[in-house]
A and B are shown apart, each in its own frame.
Chain A
Amino acid sequence: MNLLCSISNAELSITAAITGIGLVFAALLIAKLISPKSYSLRKAEPYECGIPTRGHSMIQFKAGYYIFAILFLLFDVEVVFLYPWSVVMRGMGPQGLLCIGIFMFVLVLGLAYAWKKGALKWD
């Protein structure tokens, strides 16, 4: 039961989201009104420990993070499937255990494959 039964959860979630947006907006507005403003070309350069920036900063780099993102996608979808299972698990008894056991076995095989291929190694 939420705070007020007369308001639906969707409306409350939207209220909370609007509150967050409002907080940022209001604080930015106050800061804009009372903060000083000045501009110079030197000041608008990125802070890279005093060394002038070389080249463009929005670059492609290191695939290491990319592989972990792909692995994450695989396992995140798995976790999404586990949520509904966790709710009905108690009523299903040993059958529920068997079903999810096979599901997890296949996924663990996937992790084992990635591990063996060296995807988890950072180099």
Chain B
Amino acid sequence: MFDFGKWTSAFNDWLLGTGMADWLAILIECVLIGVGVLLVYTVLALFYILYERKLCAWFQCRLGPMRVGKWGLLQVFADMFKILIKELICLKGTDRFLFKLAPYLVITSSVVMLACLPWGNGLQIIDWNIGIFFVLAVSSVGVLGILLAGWSSNNKYTLIGAMRSGAQMVSYELSLGLALITICVLAGTLNISELVWAQKDAWFLFKGHVPAIIAFIIYVIAATAETNRGPFDLPEAEHELTAGYHTEYSGIHFGFFYLAEYLNLFIVSGIASLMFLGGWMPLHIPGWDGFNAVMDFIPSPVWFLLKAFFISFVIIWFKWTFPRVRIDQMLSFEWKYLMPFSLANLVLMAVFVAFGWHF
């Protein structure tokens, strides 16, 4: 496996070798990292918009966007430009400060989470020793942004949409966290790069016996709800709430929520691939040395992206297949079924680890 850390440390040595001060070198590197994250963020958002539209069209036996560019590839750029030139409306009676603060919170939380994901061998920006806990902590800042957006808009629909979204996101965050803890018990670490390295011989999904598979299923359901998608897209149920918490946002203000929604889809898929499907680790089967050597030739970012896109595909598939649930069904599903199940699953995993029954 190629180590991208070689390039970055070589660049760092070269920068320090030119004789500049340490703080200047760090500043330059931070700016470069910021620009890189920004590029990845926008490219991913544009890709995901097209990905979702195309998949949705194919599930409904349509072609999707076809006119602008080859196979509609330029459609997203046209949309982006159009959304930029729209007027920014601020209604009378809105709480202007909170109204303008909300997109900042939503976007910032998704950018920080994006920076935590392991893109490849040595291609990870933030790597705390409490990695996965940090990601979950940052994700709850996004909920705050959504609640603020709904509250400050001076509209009853947005208020109800935001409350629904808040109740849904905090509820499903529990099973999401418990599913991740199940894997942390198996790995014995919270550090993201150590989690990836622990899956060198086999991915946690295969390594962890039955509880890991149950945790994976719980995670995918909770992640679908966490991103307000699929059968759980109550906050933006258009027949009852117009568009949910971002009804009163216009132009690029609305675009931010749209962007963050797609990036959150990528982030939850990325975390799923990191915790269950080995992150950037190639598919290794113990004993099959030739097969493992061939798999090592595929670059690590390709592995990571393919796994993340696959999980996103599954989540998008849910959205265009299942009918929307009601709010009482959604909350009782979480509190009466998913939460007790994930607690029991965690205990099961702890028993498996304590007695060494996992692979």
A interface with B by C-beta (< 8 Å): 1-7, 9, 11-13, 15-24, 27-28, 30-32, 34-38, 41, 43-49, 53, 57-59, 61-62, 64-65, 68-69, 71-72, 75-76, 79, 82-83, 86-91, 93-94, 96-97, 100-101, 104, 108, 111, 115, 120-122
Contacts and interface: CB of A to CB of B under 8 A. Distances in A.
12 contacts: A16-B126, A19-B111, A20-B112, A31-B86, A35-B85, A46-B93, A46-B156, A57-B155, A58-B159, A89-B185, A111-B340, A120-B332
B167 A69 contact: yes
Q: Per DSSP, are chain A's interface residues mostly helix, strand or loop, or mixed?
A: helix
Contacts of B114: 16
Nearest to B111: A20
A19 B34 contact: yes
Given A2-B193, A72-B170, 19 more contacts: A2-B126, A7-B30, A9-B128, A11-B26, A15-B30, A15-B33, A17-B108, A22-B34, A24-B103, A31-B84, A35-B251, A47-B247, A57-B153, A57-B159, A68-B335, A72-B174, A79-B181, A86-B181, A90-B185
B33 A1 contact: no
Given A57-B156, A104-B343, A120-B331, A16 B87 contact: no
Given A1-B127, A47-B248, A16 B347 contact: no
B107 A23 contact: yes
B167 A122 contact: no
Interface string B326-352: 011001100110011001001100110
B188 A21 contact: no
Given A48-B157, A49-B242, A94-B354, A89 B88 contact: no
Contacts of B177: 76, 79
Interface string B178-203: 10010011001110010000000000
A60 B115 CA distance: 38
Contact of A65 (B109, B163, B253, B354): B163
A57 B160 CA distance: 10
B232 interface: no
Nearest to A101: B347
A72 B38 contact: no
A18 B34 contact: yes
A24 B255 CA distance: 10
A118 to B, nearest CB: 11
Contacts, number: 239
Given A4-B8, A83-B133, A101-B347, A15 B188 contact: no
Contact of A122 (B188, B253, B332): B332
Nearest to A26: B38
Contacts of B347: 101, 104
In order of increasing CB-CB distance, the 3 nearest A-B pairs are A122-B328, A20-B108, A20-B111
A45 B91 contact: yes
B18 interface: no
Contacts of B109: 20
B124 A27 contact: no
B122 A3 contact: yes
B12 A6 contact: yes
A58 B99 CA distance: 13
B92 interface: yes
Contacts of A89: 185, 188, 350, 353-354
A95 to B, nearest CB: 9
Contacts of A94: 354-355
B94 to A, nearest CB: 9
Contacts of A20: 104, 107-112
